[in-house]
Structure 1
Amino acid sequence: MTLEILTSDALSPFRHGFFTRRGGASSGVFAGLNCGAGSSDQSEIVAINRARVAAALDVAPDHLAGVHQVHSATAVTVDAPVTDRPRADALVTDRPGLALGILTADCQPVLFADATAGVIGAAHAGWRGALDGVLEATLDAMEHLGAHRADIAAIIGPSISQSAYEVGPEFLDDFLAEDTDNTRFFATGRDGRYQFDLPGYGLHRLRRAGVGHAEWTRHCTYSDPARFFSYRRTTHAGEADYGRLISAIRI
């Protein structure tokens, strides 16, 4: 099966993609394009999957850079192939021939591009990273390379949607402590719980930070098992592990 790659015109002319699980070599619960080295999938198979992604972006496998994601607000600048992945949740570069990749399985994958300045970025933005400022940190790092916020397009890829993201009242408290207006990203759920709009919150943070264009592809990872891995769906199903989707961009 060939790879399925979701793209956005707003990130042109840079080659990029929000890769679905279709077209990979993994099997079982990881069936498809599992690119997560941190999963219990066979490392050789994960390497094959990542090589397919690199080939689709027309870069060598070792030029597909990644980070050791820790749900932080840390963004790093990449100017050469990464051998030891730093603990961070976003990458930026202005170097042609390098691809920036991040992994998700419900969290927001966000790809950034300033076509005028020739600067790109990629961020992993779960609720904690988004709340702590990983999206703004990515924009700051891009600006250090000469980008301008008004010229940056930021696209949120497949993420868990509000209808599938049930949270408790203590979760709401964290967001109210940051801004009481954040109540607009919560809908009343069952039994005193809430439904959280993660992509809506991500778009709010991006637009408040001054990006020129921000949008969500409107793909829900939880509700489409044929195309996307989902940590929460795996948890509800009682499965032992889950695959990781990759989203990447290159100059």
Structure 2
Amino acid sequence: MTLPAISDDYPAHWLQPEWSLPGVRAWCTTRYGDCSQPPYDGFNTANHVGDDPASVAACRAALSSYFQWHSEPQWLRQVHGTQVVEAQGDGLEREADGVYSRQPGQVCTLHTADCLPAFFASAAGDEVALAHAGWRGLADGVLEATLQTFQADPAEILVWLGPAISQPNYEVGDDVRDAFLQQAPHLSTCFERNPRQRWQCDLVSLARARLQEAGVRHISGGRHCTFGDPRFFSFRRQPVTGRLLSLIWIDPAQ
């Protein structure tokens, strides 16, 4: 197949963290692009969702060519757990839900389509990480596990919360609410009872609360809903679909 090309208008449609760290590069893709065919259109780099493997490989190669990466990104096999790995440039996929690096030029990645991607960077710009925070990983401590990989103090770490499903669109059962309230009853404010006697879960507020309790002072983002905004892939809106790609790395040129 012909290798798709990424032009400058692709990143113009992607999201970036609301922080000013010149030495840190970070993006969250959208559906914008023409690399992938329906129902994975238009830009999917996830190889576990049923998309054509050749199309996924071509999208990944186009990314590498556009950004001129000199080593393979660290791709993850996400399992809704709390394992955090240090990124390697060997091209091997690793089972984890968090990835960390202090090596300039080493790209960290993860995929989401309603779960919350959390971007981490030290204020000094010499450490970066990503965490995949679905409700289970969030309740089990994936954000805290990611913070523990940093040498920087939590007060010196910036966190940006990427696009995720919003409370009005995220219905859950008692099991999800109980998983959080058994640890911290005050988090009941993050759940609202609906007419079906189930709960609307505020994933972003849960993440903010957990991060603040862990000592993080600089938290931004959390304003984009994957379910309600057609720019994003959403598993709840369309079960057969692609995934958004989160990327972060330390710029070796800085």
Give the TM-score of the pair, scaled to structure 2.
0.89
User: Which amino acid is the alignment partner of residue 63 of structure 1?
Assistant: E
Contact 1:114 / 1:153 at 8 angstroms: preserved in 2?
yes
User: Which amino acid is the alignment partner of residue 228 of structure 1?
Assistant: F
Distance 2:67 2:57 in 1: 15
Contact 2:33 / 2:41 at 8 angstroms: preserved in 1?
no
Post-superposition offset of 1:140: 0.5
For 2:245, the equivalent position in structure 1 comes to 246
Selected match of 2:237 from 213, 233, 236: 233
For 1:238, the equivalent position in structure 2 comes to none
Post-superposition offset of 1:73: 0.7
For 2:206, the equivalent position in structure 1 comes to 201
Structure with the bigger percentage of helix: 1
Q: Percent identity?
A: 37
Distance 1:217 1:55 in 2: 30
Distance 2:18 2:67 in 1: 16
For 1:59, the equivalent position in structure 2 comes to 69
Selected match of 2:197 from 189, 192, 198: 192
**Structure 1 ranges of 4+ moved more than 3 A:** 52-58
For 2:84, the equivalent position in structure 1 comes to 75
Selected match of 1:33 from 28, 43, 61: 43
Is structure 2 residue 42 aligned with structure 1 residue 45? no
Post-superposition offset of 1:169: 2.2
Distance 1:158 1:11 in 2: 19
SS for the counterpart of 2:176 is helix
What do residues 39-97 of structure 1 show as CA deviations (whole Å, max 9, x unaligned)? 1111111122223333454414x52212110000111112x314322211001011011
SS for the counterpart of 1:232 is coil
User: Which amino acid is the alignment partner of residue 232 of structure 1?
Assistant: R
Matches within 5 A, 1:135-174: 135-143=143-151, 147-174=152-179
Selected match of 2:135 from 127, 135, 150: 127
User: Which amino acid is the alignment partner of residue 83 of structure 1?
Assistant: G
Figure out how many residues of one structure are paired with residues of the other and give that number.
240
Distance 1:115 1:183 in 2: 32
User: Which amino acid is the alignment partner of residue 71 of structure 1?
Assistant: H
SS for the counterpart of 1:207 is helix
Residues 117, 223 of structure 1: alpha-carbon distance in 2 compared, 3 angstrom cutoff? closer
Distance 2:154 2:184 in 1: 23
Contact 1:93 / 1:142 at 8 angstroms: preserved in 2?
no
Distance 1:202 1:181 in 2: 14
Comparing 7-16 with 114-123, which one deviates more in the overlay? 7-16
Distance 1:166 1:119 in 2: 35
Post-superposition offset of 1:148: 2.3
Post-superposition offset of 1:197: 0.1
